[in-house]
Amino acid sequence: MKTYTIAAIPADGIGPEVIEAGLQVLAAVERRDGGFALDVQTFDWGSQFYKKHGEMMPANGLEQLKPFDAIFFGAVGAPDVPDHITLWGLRLPICQGLDQYANVRPTKIIPGIKTPLANVGPGDLDWVIIRENSEGEYSGIGGRAHRGHPQEVATEVSIFTRVGVERIMRYAFRMAQSRPRKFLTVVTKSNAQRHGMVLWDEIAAEVAEDFPDVTWDKMLVDAMTVRMTLNPQSLDTIVATNLHADILSDLAGALAGSLGVAPTANINPEGLFPSMFEPIHGSAFDITGKGIANPVAAFWTAVQMLEHLGEADAAARLMRAVEHVCAKGITTPDVGGTAKTKEVTEAVIGAIRSSNI
Ligand code: IPM
Ligand code: MG
C-alpha cells in the first residue's frame, strides 16, 4: 500500500477550521478506498507563530517541506499583521521557493449552489484557469525611495521571462488538450502593456504550434470579464498572468456561486518539489470561530491533491460526495444554506461511506 506524506499548514482565520474538515473527509476516503494511506504532519506556522517568533515560518521552513509529497494549506492573513507580511512570509515563499509555477483554479457550478447568472445551471462554467504563479506582477521586484518626503517613489516591476512564460503556456496547452473541448483562451493586455505582454502573446503563438489539436483564442483582460459574465459557455481552459488570473479567478468564483467553494492547486509540474493545495477564500476573520466556514473549497482542493498524488478514483469519489451533499441543500450560509461546517463535513463523510457513491 502506498503512503503519501502530507504537510498540513492550517495557518490563520478559518484556515484551521476548513483544514480540519478537509483532513476528516480525506481520512474517510482513505478508509473507504483502502488502497493508500495519508501520513499527515501539521505545522503551526502563520500569524500566531509570527507574533511569537517574528517570522511566519522558521528560516528552514522550505527545507522542512521539501520531503513531503504534498502540502495542504489553509489561509494566511490576520487583522493585526499587515497583509504583505503574512503573504510574503509564508504563502508566496512556499509557491516561489518550491517552484510551484502552475496555479490551477477549476470552476464549475455545483448542483445546489446558486449562480448569480441567469442563463446557466449545474455543470456550466466548467472552466480551468491556469495562473502563472512564479513571476509577472508578483515577482516582488521594486523598491521605495525618499520615504515620507513629497517626492516619495515606489516601483513594482513585472517580470516576464521566456522560460517562465513558455512553461506556463505549455502547461496550459497540455491542460486544454486533456479536456474534451481542447480549447484555450490566452488572456493578455498587450494593447497597453507593450513589452511583457507582447512577449507573452508571441510565446503563446509559438507554443500553440506544438499543439495543433488545441484551438485557441486571445482576449484582452478587460474584455474577458465581459465574456465570462455574458458568454460563459464560450470558455473552457484559460491562461493568464499572475495578477490577471488572480482577479479573473475571483470573478469566476463569484459567478459559480461563492468563493467558499473555489479551490486552487499550486503545482510544480516536474515533481521536483511538493505541490500545495488550498482553498482560494482566505482567512475570513469576520466568521472565524463561528463554525460556519464553507469547507467545500477545502474538500475540492483535497480532490485536486488526490488527483495529483495519482489517486484518481478516490478523488472522483470525494468530488461526487461533495456534489451529492450540496445538491441535497446541506450547505453553509455563504451559499444560502443553514448548515454548519461540521454538518457539511459529516454529510460528506456519510456520503463517502455509503455504498453507492
Ligand atoms: C489568491 C489570493 C492571494 C493572491 C492573496 C491572499 C494575496 O487572492 O490566492 O488569489 O493574490 O494571490
Ligand atoms: Mg485572489
Q: Is the pLDDT confidence value at 355 over 80? A: no
Q: Mean per-residue pLDDT for 66-74?
A: 98
Nearest in space to 260 (alpha carbons), one of 1, 75, 23: 75
Ligand 1, atom nearest to 242 Cα:
12
The 10s digit of each residue's pLDDT in 163-202 is: 999 999 999 999 999 999 999 999 999 999 999 999 999 9
Q: State residue 53's pLDDT score.
A: 96
Using a 6 Å cutoff on CB, does residue 88 contact ligand 1? no
Ligand 1, atom nearest to 75 Cα:
6
Using a 6 Å cutoff on CB, does residue 85 contact ligand 1? no
Asked if residue 223 belongs to a domain, the reply is no
Asked if residue 302 belongs to a domain, the reply is yes
CATH classification of the domain holding 33: 3.40.718.10
Q: Is the pLDDT confidence value at 292 over 80? A: yes
pLDDT-derived band at 122 (thresholds 50, 70, 90) equals: confident
Asked if residue 91 belongs to a domain, the reply is yes
Ligand 1, atom nearest to 246 Cα:
10
Q: Mean per-residue pLDDT for 141-170?
A: 98
Nearest Cα residue to atom 7 of ligand 1: 87
pLDDT-derived band at 119 (thresholds 50, 70, 90) equals: confident
- Amino acid identity of 25? V
Asked if residue 172 belongs to a domain, the reply is no
- Amino acid identity of 243? L
Asked if residue 193 belongs to a domain, the reply is no
Asked if residue 254 belongs to a domain, the reply is no
Total of domains in the chain = 1
Nearest in space to 238 (alpha carbons), one of 268, 264, 257, 217: 217
The range of the structural domain enclosing residue 300 comes to 1-103+259-357
Asked if residue 31 belongs to a domain, the reply is yes
Q: Which of 87, 94, 100 to mutate to test the pocket of ligand 1 (most atoms within 8 A of CB)?
A: 87
Asked if residue 50 belongs to a domain, the reply is yes
The 10s digit of each residue's pLDDT in 93-113 is: 999 999 999 999 999 999 999
Q: Mean per-residue pLDDT for 29-57?
A: 96
Sequence-ordered alpha helix ranges (H) in 156-277: 162-178, 196-208, 221-230, 242-255
Q: Which of 47, 243, 246 to mutate to test the pocket of ligand 1 (most atoms within 8 A of CB)?
A: 246
Nearest Cα residue to atom 4 of ligand 1: 246
Q: State residue 356's pLDDT score.
A: 81
- Ligand 2 mean position, distance from CA 95 (Å): 14
Counting ligands in written order, which one lies closest to the CA of residue 85?
Answer: 1
Nearest in space to 165 (alpha carbons), one of 185, 190, 135, 191: 135
